[in-house]
Structure 1
Amino acid sequence: MIDVRGLRDGSADGPAEVAAALGRAAREVGFMYVTGTGIPPDLCTDLLAVTERFFALPYETKMATYIGRSRNHRGYVPEGEEVFADGGKDHKEAFDLGRDLPADDPDYLAGNPMLGPNQWPDLPGFREVVSAYYSAVFDLGCQLLRGFALALGEPAGFFDRYVTRPPSQLRLIHYPVDPGAEDRPGIGAHTDYECFTILKPTRPGLEARNGAGQWIDVPPLPDTFVLNIGDMLELWTNGEFVATTHRVRKVVEERYSFPLFFSVDYHTPVAPLPRFVSVDRPPRPGLIAGEHLFAQTAQSFGYLKRRLAEGEITLPDGSLALSSFGHTVAK
């Protein structure tokens, strides 16, 4: 449990103390709770209300914003659309969005697969509330990234140059009531592809895998967000931080979940920082942030897999297979 208000309270030693706590949690666990975020509780309440209204719409109405209609991975994700590395499908539906760039944005017109405008449903208040939440949690992500930079022994603004208009994605996820739910080991297990994830869940169900291979509950706690390390911070630290494998177990009660996957700019090269490389610890191969995000996404969503099969799109050179990060190591 880490109070992160010291990242922005103006005190001389606040950022350093928070950074030290973030670094310990990232090295030892990979999952943590954060408090003191500055995000108003009422905004979270409003987000849940408009999300419930959206998912209560008829299927045909939701499919008007089907993600397969977009060229930049934005919109409604019906149940069964997303498939993990083990072939399992979660019993969930989602709505995916990012920074809402204009339709004449140069990167979007050039075919960037992760940047551009959002699809918005015709639902009063939805766009305004979701946009406000995205802005607030993205700002929190910028503060946390500066804290992680300090934790890595770099200046606070070390990563700022890479965060000008990143494809950081917010997902609104709905797990419907499933009275016959049964767990299967590993179903839905994955790591997150970006730097880190800031999560606001409404019900239990999230589990992280520890070094002994056991699944540990990460229940929601009042006035907190869950924060976990993703692939890019694992790579930048050459494995010092680990993108912890996690899943949502099968639950019988209705559940909503709001993860913001905080990324860096699409064309950012990500490779181990020199301080984490040694003779005994050779550098892992680098990657391009957005290409990794797109490749992992394209291998897990049905509509993109169909486009791959038809030759409409191709994976970037050197793309990794799904779940190439997050190997647990007993400590």
Structure 2
Amino acid sequence: MPAFTESGAAEPPLAESYLDLLRRSGGIITALPAEGCAGGAAAVQERELPLIDLECLMTSDRRGSGGGGAREARAACAGAMARAASEWGFFQVTGHGVSRALLERLRAEQARLFRLPFEAKAGAGLLNGSYRWGAPTATSLRHLSWSEAFHVPLASISGSACDFGELGSLRYHEVADAMSRVAKTVAVALAGSLLQQGHTAAAEAFPAGCDETTCFLRLNRYPACPFAPDTFGLVPHTDSDFLTVLCQDQVGGLQLMKDARWVAVKPHPDALIVNIGDLFQAWSNNRYKSVEHKVVANAKAERFSAAYFLCPSYDSPVGTCGEPSPYRSFTFGEYRMKVQEDVKRTGRKIGLPNFLKQHPQQ
């Protein structure tokens, strides 16, 4: 086991959690590489995600003006995203309109935020009490995430009452607004690829129930980890939303499941990453894939990322792009509640299989 040096006052008690879980397991690390853990990282191939330029969608009228060439460019862009959403569940986008200057300001602000004392971050006030770290309720090392985050409902940061502490140089809603435009543009294009011609209005309104008050912004930090070969930065999971837009630094560590194998995502300096969430897979009748992904811990470098989660209101029905659908009708609130119940009962998320019309045999 590597030696551990006491961290500064800013660090959450991740090492203590790790060592406690290790003691409880009798010193046996039960998170095996065969089950997709970081211990198998040496055998993981690095791949570049499909790279798609969004400029024609972000700067032009999607209703069809601009001539035949512009319409063809938009259709080609939407088609490329639809193929990537079906084959990978993930892709990268450039031409997204989120300035490099804004993203650099975000990264600097995140570094300042996470270097605050742990007690200040974990207190009830900062960013409306949205701080979380590791997995304090974990019962196994395979449930421990070596990370800390502010998982902020946008409804709480869009008003003036949100406590930003002394970190006022960047209002996080600037980032949320910019990433929201990307998320909605991508979602509308992907929906349009599945809806029949003549359903433009339905595509433009997709996804129902999503606005600036229902979505989330998550600010992540993954500290350097002395136990990296046996530790997740973020445990394997799928996202319980329609769509996620991710900005990450160049440290790397994101991995996703492709063809029943983990592959490492090669960072691209100017790209945002988009991935399909569970709700979009359900709405698309499984044509788009919500793919399991994780972050592996890094022994030497800390990693920062920021994710925008496109979510509907809790009472919004998820719906379908067309019948027959394999899923029964359900709302986002029902889905979240079931996920929470399953995690509490079994220690893991079950997700979409719970909502199949023909429930699989247990």
TM-score (norm 2): 0.70
Tell me, what secondary structure is at the counterpart of 2:78?
helix
Within a 5 Å distance, the mapping from 1:317-328 to structure 2 comes to 322-325=349-352
User: What's the CA shift string for 1:33-69, capped at 9, x where partnerless?
Assistant: 11100001010000111110011111111122479x9
User: Is 1:53–2:112 an aligned residue pair?
Assistant: yes
- Residue 122 (structure 1) aligned to one of 156, 160, 165: 165
1:5 aligns with 2:64: no
The Cα offsets for residues 169-199 of structure 1, whole Å up to 9 and x where unpaired, read as 1110111111331146997110000011101
Distance 1:157 1:82 in 2: 41
Aligned-residue RMSD, C-alpha = 3.1
Structure-2 separation of matches of 1:75 and 1:3: 33
Query: Is 1:249 equivalent to 2:296 in the alignment?
Result: yes
Which residue number in structure 2 is paired with residue 315 of structure 1?
Answer: none
Q: Aligned pair in 2 of structure 1 residues 85, 199: CA closer, same or farther (>3 Å)?
A: farther
- Aligned partner of 1:19 in structure 2 is 78
Kindly indicate whether residue 244 of structure 2 is the aligned counterpart of residue 197 of structure 1: yes
Superposed CA deviations along residues 224-280 of structure 1, whole A, max 9, x for unmatched, are 0111110001001121111000011122221011111111233211133325x3xxx
- The structure carrying a bigger helix percent of its residues is 2
The answer to whether the Cα contact below 8 Å between 2:149 and 2:219 also exists between their aligned partners in 1 is yes
Aligned residue for 1:143?
185
Equivalent residue number for residue 134 of structure 2:
79
Rg larger for: 2
Q: How many residues align?
A: 285
C-alpha distance in structure 2 between counterparts of 1:152 and 1:88, whole Å: 36
C-alpha separation between the residues in 2 aligned to 1:229 and 1:130? 23
Partners of 1:78 and 1:186 lie apart in 2 by: 11
The SS at the match of 1:285 is: coil
Please say if residues 32 and 228 of structure 1, whose CA atoms lie closer than 8 Å, have aligned partners that are also in contact. Answer: yes
**Does the C-alpha gap of structure 1 residues 323 and 204 become closer, same or farther in structure 2, counting only changes over 3 Å?**
farther
Letter in 2 for 1:238: N
Percent identity reads 27
Cα separation, 2, equivalents of 1:121 and 1:158: 33
Paired residue for 2:286? 239
Aligned to 2:310: 262
In the alignment, what sits opposite 1:93? 148
Question: CA separation of 1:223/1:65 partners in 2, compared to 1, >3 Å: closer, same or farther?
Answer: farther
TM-score normalised per structure 1: 0.76
Distance 1:204 1:125 in 2: 28
Paired residue secondary structure (1:284): coil
Contact 1:183 1:249 in 2 (8 A): no
Q: Distance in 1 between matches of 2:123 and 2:307?
A: 23
Shift of 1:294: 5.1
Q: One-letter code of the match for 1:46?
A: R
Whole-angstrom distance in 1 between the partners of 2:161 and 2:137: 19
SS at match of 1:19: helix
Structure 1, unaligned runs of 5 or more? 104-115, 310-320, 327-331
Secondary structure of 2:180's counterpart equals helix
User: Contact 1:62/1:121 (CA < 8 Å) preserved in 2?
Assistant: no
The code of the aligned residue for 1:30 comes to: G
Match of 1:131 among 138, 156, 173: 173
SS at match of 2:144: coil
Q: Deviations over 1:64-118 (max 9, x none)?
A: 2479x96xxx511133347599961101110111223599xxxxxxxxxxxx998
2:85 counterpart letter in structure 1 = A
**Matched-pair contact (CA < 8 Å) for 1:96–1:171:** yes
**C-alpha distance 299-324 of structure 1, shift in aligned 2 (>3 A):** closer
Q: What is the CA-CA distance between 1:25 and the residue it aligns to? A: 0.6
Change (3 A) 1:102 1:37: closer
